[in-house]
């Protein structure tokens, strides 16, 4: 009840204070100095009567309006958001067009590697995907659809892999959003079971007993955003005219899930390599985890550089390393998976990494290029460790049209 009363009082004050300010200002203009001296300085700061009544002297109205609190607050927000696109035009040429049409080929790849305490190593990877499709853009918003060319005539064997990747680039901030879930097209890429075990017969063998998923986001800040442009290399919304670089600072959060059907993998080993005489498994027992669920919180630092090596040409390289804290359900009392202070352990720190590389030709009207983004995540326990890296390679060509009115 008290909160409702205070809310009503606040609303009435917002309504009445402008009226009070206007009335006092009217009395002041009519020459009643005694009443004018009663006027509160706070009211004059927050509200100006020239905002609420007509006045033929426009310059006077504008001068008083600029002194008001709300105008200054609005100006602060305007300047803050304007800073996102505030660049040094001698280094960065802004976009001159509103619309774009682009044809893009997207290729995704990923590898999961498991390491045992005794030196064993097993790597799983899916078949590479080849996708092609059109994109339509308005300023910084892109919409498009790509078709899986590899499975276009093989509906029955279509991979059940699901993925979502979104990267947003502004001059000051960047965001990566991603979600990936493995399909049924995995194979054994590499396996090391010891010095005396030849595993060549296992290379590229299909294996649908591996399941993994990852979802998360990365947010990073670009320090030298007035001279260095990420959009010039990865979204073609600007053109880098002079070479420049910048330090990067970022944070990230991801959730991981990993499962392996060890019985199925053991059957494949027996078929390809033959059973051991003593009947024991060839795989280190400490490596045979049932399932891993963990989250990863990281703080990263890195550097990015745009090299303008010829007119309208640009090469970008960007590397960031992150100090990450991992925690799984097994690190807690088993009833929860969120971070608690009593579950903290320095053994849970690992290193993550993000790399970006791109080359682009852009004359502001036409553009073409290629870019790749690579993520790497590590997880380590006493008995085993895992490494997951994934990324995408984009090859594109496009044209801008619909020139802006102020250009």
- 8 and 119 assigned to the same domain: no
At 346 the pLDDT is 72
At 17 the pLDDT is 38
- 142 and 72 assigned to the same domain: no
- 62 and 126 assigned to the same domain: no
User: Residue 36 above 80 pLDDT?
Assistant: no
- 243 and 299 assigned to the same domain: yes
- 27 and 131 assigned to the same domain: no
Last residue of a domain, one of 48, 82, 116: 82
At 157 the pLDDT is 52
Q: How many domains does the chain have?
A: 2
CA atoms of 189 and 181, how far apart (whole Å): 18
CA atoms of 40 and 43, how far apart (whole Å): 5
- 265 and 301 assigned to the same domain: yes
What pLDDT, in 10s, does the model give residues 197-238? 888 889 889 998 888 899 999 999 999 999 999 999 998 889
- 244 and 344 assigned to the same domain: yes
- 159 and 284 assigned to the same domain: yes
CA atoms of 80 and 370, how far apart (whole Å): 32
- 156 and 274 assigned to the same domain: yes
- 17 and 138 assigned to the same domain: no
Last residue of a domain, one of 53, 82, 111: 82
Q: What would you measure as the largest C-alpha separation in the chain, in angstroms? A: 111
- 147 and 277 assigned to the same domain: yes
What pLDDT, in 10s, does the model give residues 159-200? 667 778 788 888 888 898 989 888 777 899 999 988 888 888
Question: Tell me, what CATH number does 371's domain have?
Answer: 2.40.128
What's the pTM?
Answer: 0.74
What are the two backbone dihedrals, phi and then psi, of residue 236, each rounded to the nearest 5 degrees?
55, 25
User: Residue 147 above 50 pLDDT?
Assistant: yes
What burial class does residue 352 get, using C-beta atoms within 10 Å of its C-beta: 0-12 exposed, 13-18 middle, 19+ buried?
Answer: buried
Range of the domain at 8: 2-82
CA atoms of 30 and 142, how far apart (whole Å): 59
- 302 and 197 assigned to the same domain: yes
Last residue of a domain, one of 82, 110, 135: 82
Q: What is the dihedral of CA 190, 196, 200, 205, to 10 degrees?
A: -60
């Amino acid at each position: 009840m008290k909160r409702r009363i205070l809310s009503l009082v606040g609303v009435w004050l917002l309504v009445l204070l402008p009226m009070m300010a206007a009335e006092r200002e009217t009395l002041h203009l009519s020459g009643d100095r005694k009443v004018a001296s009663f006027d509160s300085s706070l009211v004059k700061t927050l509200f100006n009567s020239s905002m609420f009544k007509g006045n033929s002297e426009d310059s006077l109205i504008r001068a008083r309006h600029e002194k008001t609190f709300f105008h200054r607050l609005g100006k602060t927000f305007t300047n803050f958001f304007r800073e996102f696109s505030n660049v040094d035009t001698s280094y960065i040429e802004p976009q001159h067009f509103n619309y774009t049409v682009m044809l893009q080929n997207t290729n995704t790849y990923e590898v999961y590697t498991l390491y045992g305490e005794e030196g064993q190593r097993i790597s799983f990877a899916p078949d590479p995907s080849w996708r092609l499709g059109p994109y339509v853009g308005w300023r910084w918003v892109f919409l498009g659809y790509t078709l899986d060319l590899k499975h276009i005539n093989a509906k029955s064997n279509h991979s059940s892999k699901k993925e979502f990747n979104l990267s947003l680039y502004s001059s000051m901030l960047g965001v990566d959003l991603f979600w990936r879930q493995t399909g049924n097209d995995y194979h054994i890429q590499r396996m090391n079971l010891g010095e005396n075990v030849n595993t060549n017969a296992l290379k590229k063998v299909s294996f649908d007993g591996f399941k993994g998923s990852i979802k998360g986001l990365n947010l990073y800040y670009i320090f030298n955003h007035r001279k260095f442009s990420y959009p010039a290399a990865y979204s073609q919304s600007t053109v880098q005219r002079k070479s420049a670089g910048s330090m990067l600072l970022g944070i990230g959060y991801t959730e991981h899930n990993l499962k392996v059907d060890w019985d199925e993998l053991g059957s494949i080993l027996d078929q390809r390599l033959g059973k051991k005489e003593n009947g024991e498994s060839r795989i280190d027992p400490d490596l045979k985890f049932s399932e891993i669920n963990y989250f990863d919180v990281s703080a990263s630092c890195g550097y990015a550089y745009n090299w303008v090596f010829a007119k309208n040409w640009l090469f970008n390289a960007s590397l960031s390393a992150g100090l990450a804290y991992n925690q799984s359900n097994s690190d807690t009392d088993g009833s929860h998976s969120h971070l608690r202070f009593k579950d903290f352990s320095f053994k849970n720190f690992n290193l993550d990494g993000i790399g970006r590389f791109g080359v682009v030709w852009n004359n502001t009207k036409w553009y073409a290029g290629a870019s790749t983004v690579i993520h790497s995540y590590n997880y380590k326990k006493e008995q085993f460790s895992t490494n997951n890296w994934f990324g995408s390679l984009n090859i594109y060509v496009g044209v801008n049209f619909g020139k802006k009115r102020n250009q």
